Amino acid sequence: VISVPVELGPRRYEVLVGPGVRHELGRVLAERLAGRAERAAVVTQAAVEAAGWLADLDVGTPYDVTVVPDGEQAKSMAVVEQLCRTFARNGLGRRDAVVAVGGGVVTDTAGFAAASYHRGVAYLNVATTLLAQVDAAIGGKTGVDLPEGKNLVGAFWQPAAVLCDTEVLATLPAREWTCGRGEMAKYAFLGQGPPDASLLALPLDEQVARCVALKAQVVAGDEREGGGREVLNYGHTLAHALEAAAFDGRGDLPHGQAVAIGLVFAALLARRLGRIDDERVALHRRVIGGFDLMAALPAGADPEALVELMARDKKARHDLTFVLDGPAGVELVHGVGRADVLATLTEMGAWR
Ligand SMILES: NC(=O)c1ccc[n+]([C@@H]2O[C@H](COP(=O)([O-])OP(=O)(O)OC[C@H]3O[C@@H](n4cnc5c(N)ncnc54)[C@H](O)[C@@H]3O)[C@@H](O)[C@H]2O)c1
């Protein structure tokens, strides 16, 4: 088991990574809550339960299981209300705990319910998707969507611990592997020191742990998005535009694949702006390829429409803003020229 601390002073916690670490739940919960939890509310999804990952769960206290619906639509105020009402009916007290067992949808929603119920009860994440293990379950950003937009309501509420059991990934569908791999590729370019492709050569649990350590480092430096945490959006500006754009074939574009395209785009744009050299661009392509992801724009994607969408990205206030690689590493760059962005998108080429 690899233990990675998230250094947040009084809110410090550990992320445990390795095959079978879900079995540490009872011990970790008792330790972190100093034995005061008398019961727990386990929140999960049908696919996780069907895969058998709850069957041998040792919570260490009596617990109830609540299954939330599948997909992004489960991240709603209605589901949070249902969860809190269920907690109340089951007698969950302010010293008790919520345990989220699932991917990012479950950890975001259950985390926000925990942040709100009794004005905040403890919660632990047992992350069961690769994306949740390397990203969503760590860092304390919890929340749900509104019809008006994604993640519009939420709270910074740190978990008491995160368990990343690599064994449970055995049942993860191929599409969800792609989602997680796109985020993993991003981490190859974050952190101190020049990036390299060494992440690719590690065994899975060490890959996950290295990504967790990078996320933990960024979160510890900027718990509430005051400045610094935006590097986690590397590759995401174009990814969000691709996800928002309407074109043939977009429907089956997994988030991680969109991020991979966004990473290669960001590298080409950085080269065009004189921030990085050919070798660094090649490294981006090597990492993307190593994670079995495509590096070109999907067929039918319209560069003009993508530029429009990126100009409206919430991270860009009045101009085109990107997280870009450079001599000092990955950082936020404002005021990128529209012509450079368009030329880079055109340079990327398309699938098929
Ligand atoms: N809070 C953050 O910092 C943060 C960061 C990144 C992403 N997110 C959020 O995470 C969400 C996406 O999370 P996700 O990619 O984990 O998707 P997800 O939570 O929707 O899970 C994908 C699917 O896999 C199933 N599943 C989960 N674990 C499984 C397993 N071990 N075996 C079989 N099936 C399993 C789920 O039931 C679901 O159907 C988005 O809503 C995104 O906004 C949050």
49 is catalytic: no
pTM, 2 dp: 0.96
Annotated catalytic residue, options 181, 186, 210, 236: 236
Annotated catalytic residue, options 7, 31, 81, 225: 225
Nearest CA owner, ligand 1 atom 25: 47
**What would the mean pLDDT of 10-15 be, rounded to a whole number?**
98
**What would the mean pLDDT of 20-29 be, rounded to a whole number?**
98
Please check the confidence at residue 251 and state whether its pLDDT lies above 80.
no
- The pLDDT score that the predictor gives to residue 218 is 97
Higher per-residue confidence, 96 vs 192 = 96
Q: For the segment 120-164, what is each residue's pLDDT rounded down to a tens digit?
A: 999 999 999 999 999 999 999 999 999 999 999 999 999 999 999
Q: For the segment 56-109, what is each residue's pLDDT rounded down to a tens digit?
A: 999 999 999 999 999 999 999 999 999 999 999 999 999 999 999 999 999 999
Please check the confidence at residue 205 and state whether its pLDDT lies above 80.
yes
Please check the confidence at residue 248 and state whether its pLDDT lies above 70.
no
- The pLDDT score that the predictor gives to residue 352 is 53
- The pLDDT score that the predictor gives to residue 58 is 94
Q: How far is the centre of ligand 1, averaged over its atoms, from the C-alpha of 50 (Å)?
A: 16
334 is catalytic: no
Q: How far is the centre of ligand 1, averaged over its atoms, from the C-alpha of 70 (Å)?
A: 9
Annotated catalytic residue, options 233, 271, 272, 284: 233
150 is catalytic: no
Nearest CA owner, ligand 1 atom 16: 103
Nearest CA owner, ligand 1 atom 3: 136
Contact 257, 186 (CB under 8 A): no
- The pLDDT score that the predictor gives to residue 13 is 98
CB neighbour list of residue 87: distance below 8 Å, 6 or more residues apart? 41, 98, 113, 117
CB neighbour list of residue 287: distance below 8 Å, 6 or more residues apart? 185, 188, 189, 197, 199, 200, 263
pLDDT above 90 coverage of the chain, percent: 91
- The pLDDT score that the predictor gives to residue 303 is 93
Please check the confidence at residue 22 and state whether its pLDDT lies above 60.
yes
- The pLDDT score that the predictor gives to residue 318 is 63
- The pLDDT score that the predictor gives to residue 141 is 98
The three state secondary structure string of the chain is CEEEEECCHHHCEEEEEECCHHHHHHHHHHHHCCCCCCCEEEEEEHHHHHCCCCCCCCCCCCEEEEEECCCHHHCCHHHHHHHHHHHHHCCCCCCCEEEEEECHHHHHHHHHHHHHHHHCCEEEEEECCHHHHHHHCCCCEEEEEECCEEEEEEEECCCCEEEEEHHHHHHCCHHHHHHHHHHHHHHCCCCCCCCCCHHHHCCHHHHHHHHHHHHHHHHHHCCCCCCCHHHHHCCHHHHHHHHHCCCCCHHHCCHHHHHHHHHHHHHHHHHHCCCCCHHHHHHHHHHHHHCCCCCCECCCCCHHHHHHHHHCCCCCCCCCCEEECCCCCCEEECCCCHHHHHHHHHHHCECC
Contact 311, 342 (CB under 8 A): no
What is the chain's mean pLDDT, rounded?
Answer: 95
Out of 105, 106, 123, 215, give the residue to mutate to test ligand 1, the one with the largest number of ligand atoms within 8 Å of its CB: 105
Please check the confidence at residue 316 and state whether its pLDDT lies above 60.
no
Nearest CA owner, ligand 1 atom 18: 103
Using pLDDT thresholds of 50, 70 and 90, give the confidence band for residue 348.
very high
Using pLDDT thresholds of 50, 70 and 90, give the confidence band for residue 299.
confident
